[in-house]
Amino acid sequence: MYRLILESLLGLRLEVDTLHVAPCLPADWDGFKLSYRCRETLYRIAVTHSGDAEGGTRITLDGVAQDGPGIPVVDDGREHAVEVMLSGRPIEQPLS
């Protein structure tokens, strides 16, 4: 269940040395924060909706914009700040 929530809802997926973030959030969530540990290194991740209608997902690592859709993961024993800004608002889901 933990892995299902982590990968499907929060959209975190580790591939070799890159952490991909592609959340599928409920419409009433503004975002989320979590701490992700890789061996001796801690990543503090904040995901928010930017409110922009366009522009795609923007990711920064320690204040530096990342070119790709992932976060390079290194075991350097430091703490890193990751910001993921999602464009637009989530799509409202109809009630069943």
Q: Report the predicted TM-score, pTM, of the whole model to 2 decimal places.
A: 0.80
User: 54-65 pLDDT, tens per residue?
Assistant: 667 899 999 999
Contact 53, 89 (CB under 8 A): no
From the number of C-beta atoms within 10 Å of its C-beta (0-12, 13-18, 19+), residue 48 rates as middle
Provide the H-helix boundaries in 1-96: 2-4
User: 38-56 pLDDT, tens per residue?
Assistant: 899 999 999 998 666 566 7
pLDDT class for 6, splitting at 50, 70, 90? confident
pLDDT class for 19, splitting at 50, 70, 90? very high
